[in-house]
Structure 1
């Protein structure tokens, strides 16, 4: 069972601009010695467990669960590896360690992985929704739609010390005035689901980095 943080949690959210993103983190996060981080391959949430989303309508074709999870995992690893303050455990080392971890809860898997690769923390994630764009980038019949959750586990304490959720279905400029900001950033085109996922991962990783190093110069 998920171990709740005994510390004050801070909540931040962003609803303007591309995507809806919100996160929460432990009040002492920046004081924890977290440098070496492993990325646990994400598990796609079974379709039967998915809650209906008000942001998307059914017609968009879903990508296979495994492919969506792989896309998310690749984006998380490459984005986190670009930050000099972190030492990200190699994908090869993670694969070898994961093959030795017994099935169990996400908390148990994260802790086991962290201990096997001597990581300070483990990032886990879940794909909640991943629907590909139907149509072309200049005229989509149905937009891409992506939602996922990322969590940072403190290996030593077995706690989730940061979590973030990204959710976006790309909107037409005529549907919402805030879409003007999106199109200004992206250009007047419809993104693929992989591109939407990458934007979400960049936002999540930047938020995690800021939470870990706030107040540190």
Structure 2
């Protein structure tokens, strides 16, 4: 049976079989990047006029009028940057290395062990490859993840479209491929008009996507009970405090002792 909690931007799930004391060695793998493109609201490098479109129904309404036709930003699909997985993995590894009592193999070292993709199911393939990586490196578990959203802010720190980050982190046991622990994070910074206090806590500006990602990693890793957390590991994230609500409904178990996030 699994137990979980679901706050506004953070979700933590842990398998009942998870015994943190049994995990002494962990390899942190470079995170996978979701292959589905993400939406951006403007095309970098184009003028404001070039990045605006008008809906046909709006054009028809304003035909014959001298008033300018209203426009809306052009939405374009862009792939998630490939380096986003490396950045998040390094952040996770750095937080984990702050904890005594656990041996950590960093992403740059684990990346030297090539494990080919075997499935188009990104969640299930993530577990399979992590288990194979753990066996190759002779570690108790592998900490890996998947980047779902990594959108840089458009414009400067005081105007434009805010950054957004979404990712998951999984601790996968080498012996049987079971996901022992999983943390999911998503946040899109809100402007001053929508979140006054939160915007002030960010320094009264729009942060970069890397700053937002670091904040998310700190929040997620705070809930991973591996090793003995040092005082540095307990430093608060530079983010808005999350309102946590507990869900007492047991989560569904997936077939073959896996947790892919897409149970039947």
CA–CA distance in structure 2, aligned partners of residues 44 and 12 of structure 1: 25
TM-score with structure 1 length normalisation? 0.77
The aligned counterpart of 1:103 is 117
Secondary structure of the residue aligned to 1:135 is strand
CA–CA distance in structure 2, aligned partners of residues 122 and 21 of structure 1: 21
The aligned counterpart of 1:66 is 82
TM-score with structure 2 length normalisation? 0.65
Instruction: Give unmatched runs, 5+ long, in structure 2.
Output: 45-77, 119-124, 229-264
Shift of residue 63, structure 1, vs aligned partner? 7.1
CA–CA distance in structure 2, aligned partners of residues 73 and 122 of structure 1: 12
Q: Determine which of 137, 153, 164 is the counterpart of 1:117.
A: 137
CA–CA distance in structure 2, aligned partners of residues 148 and 60 of structure 1: 24
CA–CA distance in structure 2, aligned partners of residues 127 and 60 of structure 1: 22
CA–CA distance in structure 1, aligned partners of residues 181 and 83 of structure 2: 26
1:1-217 equivalences in 2 (<5 Å):
8-15=1-8, 20-30=9-19, 33-47=22-36, 58-59=41-42, 64-97=80-113, 99=114, 101-104=115-118, 105-137=125-157, 139-176=158-195, 179-180=196-197, 182-209=198-225
On the 8 A contact 1:60/1:142 being kept in 2, the answer is no
Shift of residue 92, structure 1, vs aligned partner? 4.2
Structure with the higher helix share, 1 or 2:
1
Matched residue count: 190
CA–CA distance in structure 1, aligned partners of residues 31 and 20 of structure 2: 27
On the 8 A contact 2:80/2:149 being kept in 1, the answer is no
On the 8 A contact 2:35/2:80 being kept in 1, the answer is no
RMSD over equivalenced CA pairs, Å:
2.5
Secondary structure of the residue aligned to 1:29 is coil
